[in-house]
Amino acid sequence: MSWLTAEQALNLLGTKSQTLYANVSRGRIRAKPDPTDTRRSLYFADDVKRLAARHAGRRKTEAVAADAIQWGDPVLPSALSTISHGRLFYRGQDAAKLAEYATLEEVACLLWDMKRPLRLEGQGGNYEPSALAAVFSALAERASTDLPSLGRSLPALRNEAESVFGTVADALAPGLSHVPLHLRLAEAWNQPDAAELIRRSLVLLADHELNASTFTARITASAGATLSAAALSGLSTLTGPLHGGAWQSVRSLMDLAASIGAEEAVRSYLAEGRSLAAVGHPLYPDGDARARALLACFTLPPLFAEVRRAAEELVGEPVNVDFALTAMTSAYHLPRDAPLIIFALARTVGWLAHAMEQSASGHLIRPRARYVGPPVE
């Protein structure tokens, strides 16, 4: 039998002496007096090595999980979308190629795996400046009355998803049910020339793996909540300035550029240590594929072109989809919050797809916390 000194055991375990003694008292590590010095103990090597391996595995798992939840490796399986080699795919189809011809309704059928065309029951009406507030209210009302998603078949959930999406569409893009959503938005905003770019934007923004709002929607669905509640939780997360609200940071940069010049505005941000929401994306090291697909279809207003040139040169990364949406909004004279409205309408499709997928799995999403607070007794 092989025995270790306390120092050797502690080096293997990577713990404090109190933990070593506690493991001995609990019978996890066998110990005996040191024949050369009865004031010291020796510890059975196999017991120490077994515990050390277990602790190392736990630490590795915790480190991987912590890294994964912040732009890391995938944390749960999904058949809906992925980013691979700088391209975005919906169920294996390149989103940029789909954006050349598809509508959001067709992408919904793809992501929801529906075998029939989408049927939305539009109620007509006019676009209201408070459209976002209206959709929050409508989803909140439904969330308290719709049936929970738990224990229901996929066909039943798809029908309900269609209804929830119709509720969102009525608030954000009011119009007749037979009119495609991009045309309804263009008409509501009195900018028919923008319809084609709106269509492309809606397709490109329909889903994006486990972004913050989608992960939130999946957590909600995993508890068995209603699909409307899942969409509502996704929408709430989307409004944050680090997610769908990033257009406001781009708008602020443009306002500053209009005042002091494009290069000076970018330099001012960098000099103050402020990040530029207009450039870069952690999942697209060579540039946001969605931004490329949009920017190739219209001419940037002069100031946006100047800011793009200065930002890409000084930061060293291409502009992203938040910049592209804000530039499109300016180029086609859309409402100031058009980027968020487009984002919310499109991403509702993805939230509902993920909510249904999560419901079908039957698993509750419940991560553990890595405690870093005061020592516990």
One-letter-per-residue 3-state SS of 23-68:
HHHCCCCCEEEECCEEEEEEEEHHHHHHHHHHHHHHHHHHHHHHHH
Residue 51 has pLDDT above 90, yes or no: no
Q: What is the pLDDT of residue 10?
A: 85
Neighbours of 17 (CB within 10 A): 12
Q: What is the pLDDT of residue 56?
A: 60
b vs e for 266-295, b when ≥16 Cβ sit within 10 Å of the residue's Cβ? beebeeeeeebbbbbbeebeebbbbbbbbb
Q: What is the pLDDT of residue 76?
A: 84
Q: What is the pLDDT of residues 313-348, one digit of tens each?
A: 999 999 999 999 999 999 999 999 999 999 999 999
Q: What is the pLDDT of residues 258-274, one digit of tens each?
A: 999 999 999 999 999 88
Per cent of the chain over pLDDT 70 is: 91
pLDDT band at 207 (very low <50, low <70, confident <90, very high): very high
The whole-number average pLDDT for the span 190-202 is 97
Q: Whole-model pTM above 0.85?
A: no
pLDDT band at 69 (very low <50, low <70, confident <90, very high): low
Q: What is the pLDDT of residue 67?
A: 56
Q: What is the pLDDT of residue 368?
A: 81
pLDDT band at 60 (very low <50, low <70, confident <90, very high): low
Among residues 290, 147, 162, the alpha carbon closest in space to that of 229 is found at 147
- Work out whether strand 31-34 and strand 81-84 pair parallel, antiparallel, or are unpaired: unpaired
Q: What's CA 349's distance to the chain center, in Å? A: 14
Alpha helices in 152-301 (DSSP H): 154-172, 181-188, 195-204, 212-222, 227-238, 246-260, 262-271, 289-295
Q: What is the pLDDT of residues 5-40, one digit of tens each?
A: 888 888 888 877 777 877 786 677 888 888 777 778
Q: What is the pLDDT of residue 331?
A: 97
